[in-house]
A and B are shown apart, each in its own frame.
Chain A
Amino acid sequence: GENVEQHPSTLSVQEGDSAVIKCTYSDSASNYFPWYKQELGKRPQLIIDIRSNVGEKKDQRIAVTLNKTAKHFSLHITETQPEDSAVYFCAPMAYNFNKFYFGSGTKLNVKP
């Protein structure tokens, strides 16, 4: 399976600051790059995704950037709020394999 790494594993920011989480993957065939948010005891929720023909995508306070050459993509959250506190996972996928391999996760803590 694909090797997926996330950094940092934990991130603590002050409310209003920005947060950036990076995901590095190994399979060059990957062409779909989602980010999920998981609150304690709940199911993962898709918050943003990007496909390999696009370098950046933004949705209000959330953005994702992709560098296919270097095989990494990043989640950017601006103007963080306490409700952004959760664990975030990346899960790159190659269409021909139709499988998701989740990164190790990043626990984001936004301090009010």
Chain B
Amino acid sequence: GAVVSQHPSRVICKSGTSVKIECRSLDFQATTMFWYRQFPKQSLMLMATSNEGSKATYEQGVEKDKFLINHASLTLSTLTVTSAHPEDSSFYICSAGGLVIETQYFGPGTRLLVL
């Protein structure tokens, strides 16, 4: 199956700093990537959908100026959490869409802890 990686797998940062998370499709080209956030014991919440070369589409309630998404190539999308605060601490998961529209391949996730 297709492989999606995320980096870093775990990050601890101080409040007020920015954190960048990378999502890469290693062996296929992903025209669409999705970013999710998952708080402990909760479901995956879709944050935004990014298409290569265009601006991301954010879900209602997600601050686009706080969660910056860039999808510069068919194999890389980045999520930057700007001015992170403790309430941003969560598990962030990306997924990449394959050629078949309903197929999505999940990355292993990034656990963010903001102190």
Residues of A within 8 A of B43 (CB): 89, 102-105
Q: Which residue of B lies closest to A97 (CB)?
A: B49
Interface residues on chain A, size class: 20 to 34
What's the count of A-B pairs with C-beta under 8 Å? 47
A34, A89, A95, A102, most chain B CB atoms within 10 A: A102
Taking a contact as CB atoms under 8 Å apart, the answer to whether B101 and A43 are in contact is: no
Report the nearest A residue to B111, measured CB to CB.
A41
A89–B49 CB distance below 8 A: no
Are A93 and B102 touching (Cβ within 8 A)? yes
Are B45 and A102 closer than 8 Å at their CB atoms?
A: yes
Q: When the two chains form their complex, are residues B93 and A43 in contact, meaning their CB atoms are under 8 A apart?
A: yes
Q: Is the CB of A98 within 8 A of B108?
A: no
Using an 8 Å CB-CB cutoff, how does the interface string of B34-47 with A read, 1 for contact, 0 for none? Answer: 10100000111110
Query: In the complex, are the beta carbons of A95 and B46 less than 8 A apart?
Result: no
* Contact between B102 and A49, CB atoms less than 8 A apart: yes
| A1-B46 in contact given A43-B107, A49-B102, A98-B101 (Cβ < 8 Å) | yes
On A, residues with C-beta under 8 Å from B are: 1, 32, 34, 41-45, 49, 89, 91, 93, 95, 98-105
Closest 6 CB pairs of A and B: A43-B106, A32-B102, A102-B44, A102-B43, A105-B43, A104-B43
Beyond A91-B44, A100-B104, 18 additional pairs, beta carbon < 8 A: A41-B109, A41-B111, A42-B108, A42-B109, A43-B107, A43-B108, A43-B109, A49-B102, A89-B44, A99-B34, A100-B34, A100-B46, A102-B36, A102-B44, A102-B46, A103-B43, A104-B43, A105-B43
